[in-house]
Amino acid sequence: MADGEVKLLDFWPSMFGMRVRIALAEKGVAYEYVDEDLANKSPLLLQMNPIHKKIPVLVHNGKPICESSIIVEYIDEVWNHKAPILPSDPYERAQARFWVDYIDKKLYEPTRKIWGSKGEEQEAGKKEFIGILKQMEEVLGEKAYFGGERLGFVDISLIGFCTWFDVYESFGNFSIEAECPKLMGWVKRCLQNESVSKTLPDPKKVHDFVLQWKKKLGL
């Protein structure tokens, strides 16, 4: 089951795609990376994800798995020989899934308001974003990682957003470190893991991409 061809359809600045790349790196899985042009989606992407037509899509032996958090769970189950991502305890596993669902439902929209709007809408996005990060700080508590002593499901699901922090700070004119120092400590711990540091793109590259994207959108 774990053998065979593995292909990832992705887009390099996507924090959702970053999750999958980190999970694959944690497990040491070799795969073919396909960077999609989201303005001109490939026939393969449309074929493999006909419902949402979105990245990331993991294609394992010709079969597609869609939605980043589902893909990470799939990777954990299929390549279960090393680096467990989800907790073994059913309650802890349920909690991890709850917080990943929270991140998925809550975090993207306010961040888009920070870099993609101005005035009251931007301020509302900023306030909501900081509130979510403060909530995640409470969940983290005094632990090194959300799952305890090592990188886990919640960490992998959240850490990709940190490559966009420079974007949020420069457009929103605020400091995440000043607002959420504990969370920034967690970011630094995550970056000590090779699977994270070697996977995440340079924040400056992300910043340049957003500048170009805003020009294209006329924002």
Question: For the segment 147-184, what is each residue's pLDDT rounded down to a tens digit?
Answer: 999 999 999 999 999 999 999 999 999 999 999 999 99
Burial of 65 (0-12, 13-18, 19+ CB in 10 A): buried
Model pLDDT, residue 131: 98
Q: What's the pLDDT score for residue 1? A: 62
Section 15-23 average pLDDT: 98
With vertex at residue 8, the alpha carbon angle to CA 30 and CA 61, rounded to the nearest 5 degrees, is 75
Give residue 218's pLDDT: 79
Contact present, 34 and 9 (Cβ < 8 Å): yes
What is the SS3 assignment for 170-210?
HHHCCCHHHHCHHHHHHHHHHCCCHHHHCCCCCHHHHHHHH
Q: What is the overall mean pLDDT for the chain?
A: 96
Q: What is the mean pLDDT of residues 81-89?
A: 96
Please state which CATH class domain 6-78 belongs to: alpha beta
Quick one: pLDDT at residue 165? 97
53: left (phi over 0), alpha (psi -120 to 50) or beta: left
Domain limits of the chain?
Answer: 6-78, 90-217
**Residue 213 in this model has a pLDDT that exceeds 90:** no
pLDDT at residue 2 in the model = 73
Percent of the chain with pLDDT over 90: 95
Assign domain 90-217 to its CATH architecture.
Up-down Bundle (1.20)
66, two tokens: 């869609």
pTM of the model: 0.96
Can you tell me the mean pLDDT for 2-21?
Answer: 95
